[in-house]
Amino acid sequence: MPNTLASPTTAALLSRLFAQADARDPVVLARIQKEAEARFGGQRYAPALAPMFDEAYMPVPPEVGQLLYVLARARRPNMIVEIGTSYGVSAIYFAAALKDNAGGRLITTELSQVKVEAAQTNLASLALEQWVEIRRGDAFETLKELDRPIDLLFLDGWKDFYLPLLKHLEPMLGRGALVIGDDTKLFPDRLAPYLNYVRDPQNGYQSSDLPMGDGVELSVRT
């Protein structure tokens, strides 16, 4: 059976990207936090600071990436939608699964042109670009036109938009669609409305808290 994720080329690139993130992100995030404290009362996710995040990788941890690959292999999605491409780490896991499934498509959206170009380069270096379409811009705009239902939705962008984006995309979610919310333990207060929503069966989801990485909420559309 094919396993693109286990190939030496894929493993080497992911290892390099994780190492670069470990070296760079603490410095970049400290710089952002300093600016946030000086200008926005410590709120580092103020929209005006968004360009400063261009140099921050902020990838999913390896164990979460492995989960994304496993879920995509098992679910065999025809359409994956990802919010927050960054440098393309999670997109590599998804695209590897789509390639090994021999079908499907990932649409991922990202605000930063710097990150879009970096993600495109990383995917192309593994010959995975054919499985991925990166849409630059506001996800509420870039995801207005989808030509098929969403089988798997991965939320990993600005935390305040998890719930609004989920509601925006709900008409495209079929029964059995998976919804994955990342960083739930890292931002419990900001993600409380989202978690309360997907954990209430009255809203059409069955949900589970996975204790891995910075917290992952795995939900299925019922």
Domain spans in the chain, listed from the N-terminal domain onward: 8-55, 58-221
pLDDT band at 208 (very low <50, low <70, confident <90, very high): very high
Question: Which pair of structure tokens corresponds to residue 144?
Answer: 């207005």
CB 107 within 8 A of CB 133: yes
58-221: CATH topology is Rossmann fold (3.40.50)
pTM summary value: 0.95
Q: How many residues does the chain have?
A: 222
Q: Regarding predicted confidence, which is higher, 39 or 60?
A: 60
3-state secondary structure of 23: helix
Tally Cβ neighbours within 10 Å of residue 2.
11
Positive or negative: CA dihedral 176, 179, 180, 185: negative
> Mean pLDDT of all residues in the chain?
95
Question: Which pair of structure tokens corresponds to residue 64?
Answer: 């979460």
Amino acid at 69: Y
